[in-house]
Amino acid sequence: MTILVAYAPRPEGRAALSKGIQMATQNNEKLVVVNASPGGTQKDESFSNAHDSAWVQQELHNSALDAEFKQFVRGKDAVEEIVDLVDELSVSLLVIGLRKRSPVGKLIMGSTAQEILLTVDCPVLAVKAR
């Protein structure tokens, strides 16, 4: 089985990564960390730059787990990539990070976390940053 972490370069993404490492270690499972963006001309704040991606790789290396970091820019949004990976891999748990948003913020920007919760067919652990 595999634990999947949906990662974004923000405090809640780092909290999800930390919890994913903890859960994979505790359950002796493979860990896959995914960061995705549809790409295009608009800058996506959820997509990891080279420095942040190297940091994630180092965290995974330091964990000594069977772990990998996947980064996708192929026209799909993050939710589509996560749903595809949940279907493709034998995922026992999906870990996501949450941040507090106002009702208006959710209306205007949408909620990736909510869409993930309503779409995936596996248990989801939502964590908040400190």
Taking the domains of the chain in order of start, what are their residue ranges?
2-128
pTM of the model: 0.88
The mean predicted confidence, pLDDT, of the chain is 88
Is the distance from CB of 33 to CB of 91 less than 8 angstroms?
no
- Pair of tokens at residue 122: 């596996």
Spatial CA neighbour of 90 closest among 2, 15, 25, 6:
2
User: Tens digit of pLDDT for each residue in 89-130?
Assistant: 999 999 999 877 666 555 444 578 888 988 999 999 999 988
d(CA 57, CA 63): 10
The CATH class given to the 2-128 domain equals: alpha beta
